[in-house]
Amino acid sequence: MPLDKTERELMVMPEPYRVAPWMSPVAIPEPEGEEEGAPLSHYFWVFRRHRWKILAFVTLSVLATAVVSTRITPIYESTATVDVDRQTPTGVVGQESTRSNGINDADQFLATQVKLIQSDSVLRPVAQKYQLLRHEGQLDEASGAAAAAGQAPIFLRKLKVNRPSNTYLLLISYRSPDPQLAADVANAVAQSYLEHTYYIRYRSSASLTSFMEKQLEELRAKMEQSSAALLQFERELNVINPEEKTNILSARLIQLNSEYTNAQADRVRKQAAYQSVRNGSLEAAQVSGQGEPLRRLTEKLNEAQERFSEIKAHYGAAHPEYRKAAAHLAEVQRLLEKTKENIIQRVGIEYEEAVNREAMIQKALQETKAEFDRLNARSFEYQALKREAEADKKLYEELVRKIKEAGINASFQNSAIRIADMARPALKPVFPNIKLNLALAFVFSTLLALGAAVVSDALDNTIRDPEHVARTLKTEVVGTLPVVKDWRSRLGPVAQNGTGTALVALSEGNDAVNGYAEAIRTLRNSILLSDFDRRLRSLLVTSASPGEGKSTIAAHLAATHASQHHRTLLIDGDLRRPSVHKRFGLSSTLGLSNVLLSEISWREALVKPEGLPELDVLPAGPPSRRAADLIGRGLLELLEEAAKEYDLVVLDAPPLLGFAEPLQMATAVDGVVVVTRAGETSRKAVGAVLATLGRLRANVIGLVLNQVHQELSDSYYYYSHYGKYYRPNAKG
């Protein structure tokens, strides 16, 4: 590949001015992550690849589980059922006999009962009776010893208390190697729980009764004091019931008030009549209470006057009739005057009586009102004393009744909590469940093995699969070479049998050799036919690290190309660890290092292997540090001259990471092929190589995956068909 002036100057730049790869200011990018997840078929291939490991792990897990399960001491479990009736009254007398417990707090109540069953007060008698701490092995621990001594609460590890959902049942279960002991402990815990709840309620009632009895003495003294104060007040008032006395005075006061009003009206009326009569008014005298006699006398006076007028008209003054009529008229007038005087006197007397009566009623009204006010003022004090006395008496009687009810209810052990089903010795152990253990061991070991296979595949950071390389490194795999296991797992020297076949020196009919030869030819065509715009005249074969097989591949590529009657030159550019001459059984006394030191011409250092007339090999020559420093300018001139005489120049370069020579070689050739070892070379290392080559603008043709086999990826399934296809008796 022709280079411009700047690139040529860079190739001949002295070593101190060249920048090594590890000192490059350009960061080496990490391999890009997968754009999409692996297909499902890949996971099936992973499982198929590790099928024997998975099967062995699952088998060992199941067998180990079976052995362990059969050697474990069987554990039996017995369960006692306790029924909690929330509707049963807590007492037999009083309000507790008619009141039922609420059902809104059922969950909280049952959770409280579960904790109560697991309390020390319930478990300690049972643990001491059956020596459960010894059976459970807690006496060897400091906490178990403290619990046995009463210094710490007792907790039974094998006791289980639960509540089935939507029920009022409590299941008390205990596990033990002895089925009878398990049943006895479960029943004992249930009975201890019932006795403990009764003891708690009895102790609570006794404490309440004791408290109420103390309060009763104080309340009795207070009641007696308030009753004595009420009695003393009644004595001071000199009445039995001041309320009744107040009612009488109130009625009397109302009556006196009414009479006083009537007396005032009567007095006013009689006063008016008296004043009218005293003024001499005949009409006033007539309308008075004594007016009837005066009216009759007035009528007689009128009749006498009429008669006198008639007689006077007929008779004279000396006539007896005249004197008789005059005398009669005078008598009537005298009686009238006397009657008027009597009426005036009587009206005056009635008026005085009315005045006196009014004064008497007024005085009685004032006295009654004063007595009512006085009694009413003391009545408030009396009512207060009476209410206090009645309240003290009522509270005392209520407290006495409560004490009696509490004593009766405390002695009553109600059936709100009862044992519904006694625990019985179990016939079959609950642990270990061998069938369940084997099933779980099979399931979990299978899942664990599959997961380990997937994780190991996901954590595998090596180059394995062409599709994976294309997704992560954004480059192509130009060829894959199968592993050859029939000859000490390595490829030997190239055959020189005169047939022009570039194969390893193995016996004919070897399936692995046939497959490898076909893969080499495929790689040759893939490289040489990859660029249609120009023809590759020089090719660099390198790798990320030593031991990838680059020298073997370079030798076989050159030999295969020469077998097609193309002039081919193979240059061993690895001046540190040369190996190309060993592949062909050649001497390396003269070679590239001598050419770079200008000791000889490169044509003088060429060696021609036997059986490959179109192939020339330029060995590395003696190791020389100074020759490695001159590889830039000398190699460039050598390649330009060799490109005119050979169809293809194959250059075997040192590993690219850690060495400076491959960088100069990569810029001098037409194409670069990076060899990787499938399943061993790290993607990160290959990514660093590709990044370095990209920074140098080298023409990277692609990657070669070396030593691949079916176990690396499902993409290599076809390698198993190479041998069958090349057998003489194979069909097709």
Per-residue pLDDT reduced to its tens digit, 335-358: 877 877 777 778 778 888 888 888
User: What is the strand order of the sheet 76-84 is part of?
Assistant: 159-162, 169-176, 76-84, 417-421
User: What mean pLDDT is predicted for residues 460-479?
Assistant: 78
Question: Topology of 5-31+460-726 in CATH?
Answer: Rossmann fold (3.40.50)
Lowest-confidence region among 44-48, 141-145, 344-348, 505-509: 505-509
Distance CA 173, CA 436 (A): 21
What is the per-residue pLDDT for 312?
Answer: 77
Residue 146 has pLDDT above 70, yes or no: no
Mean pLDDT computed over 238-260: 71
pLDDT reported for residue 453? 84
Report pTM.
Answer: 0.49
DSSP annotation of 426 reads: -
Q: Between 700 and 147, where is the model more confident?
A: 700
Give the best-scoring range by mean pLDDT among 331-335, 422-426, 458-462: 422-426
> Residue holding tokens 């074969």?
541
Is the model's pLDDT at 269 over the cut of 50?
A: yes
> Which has the minimum average pLDDT: 22-26, 192-196, 555-559, 696-700?
22-26
- Structure-block tokens of residue 525: 């065509």
- CATH class, domain 242-410, is mainly alpha
Residue 481 CA to residue 719 CA, distance in Å, equals 9
Report domain extents, the chain: 5-31+460-726, 41-72+432-458, 242-410
Q: Are 5-31+460-726 and 242-410 in the same CATH fold?
A: no
Token digits of residue 20: 């090594």
Q: pLDDT grade, residue 91 (50/70/90)?
A: low
Q: Is 169 helix (H, G, I), strand (E, B) or coil?
A: strand
pLDDT of residue 508: 45
Q: Is the pLDDT of residue 24 over 50?
A: no
Q: Which helix (H) or strand (E) holds 33?
A: none
Retrieve residue 478's tokens.
Answer: 């130009």
> Average of pLDDT values for 489-507?
43
| Model pLDDT, residue 61 | 93
The torsion angle over the Cα atoms of residues 33, 37, 43 and 44, rounded to 10 degrees, is -140
The answer to whether 617 and 607 have CB atoms below 8 angstroms apart is: yes
Beta bridge partners of 703: 477, 674
Cα–Cα distance for residue pair 481/407, rounded to 1 Å: 100
C-alpha angle 297-303-305 in degrees, rounded to nearest 5: 100
Amino acid type, 407: G
